Amino acid sequence: MKILIIYTHPRAQSFNHAIKEACVQQAEDDGHIVKVRDLYRMNFNPILSSQEFTDTQSEIIQKDVQEEQKHINWAEAL
């Protein structure tokens, strides 16, 4: 199975990071293909601007969002 983990945390020493690493390791040990999208490391801006909102009404999607949509479409599990 293709699994996508969407993750964000500023500290690699955090408990959240340890949970993510354990999930990745277990899924890979079980034979799954795992991708991790670390939004914090990517500097992904999760705030929808008023212009982006207007654009989405016209079906104009920002390139960074399109890229993440490709990863979501690839996945069989999130």
pLDDT value of residue 56 = 85
User: For the purposes of burial, counting CB atoms within 10 Å of the CB of 71, is it exposed (0-12), middle (13-18) or buried (19 or more)?
Assistant: middle
- Three-state secondary-structure class, residue 40: coil
pLDDT value of residue 46 = 87
List Cβ<8 Å contacts ≥24 apart for 61-69.
68/37, 68/44
Tell me the pLDDT tens digit for each residue of 47-77: 989 998 899 888 899 899 999 999 999 999 9
* Cα 58 to Cα 38: distance, rounded to the nearest angstrom: 29
Q: Please calculate the CA angle 71-16-4 and round it to the nearest 5 degrees.
A: 15
Tell me the pLDDT tens digit for each residue of 4-55: 999 999 999 999 999 999 999 999 999 999 999 999 999 998 898 999 889 9
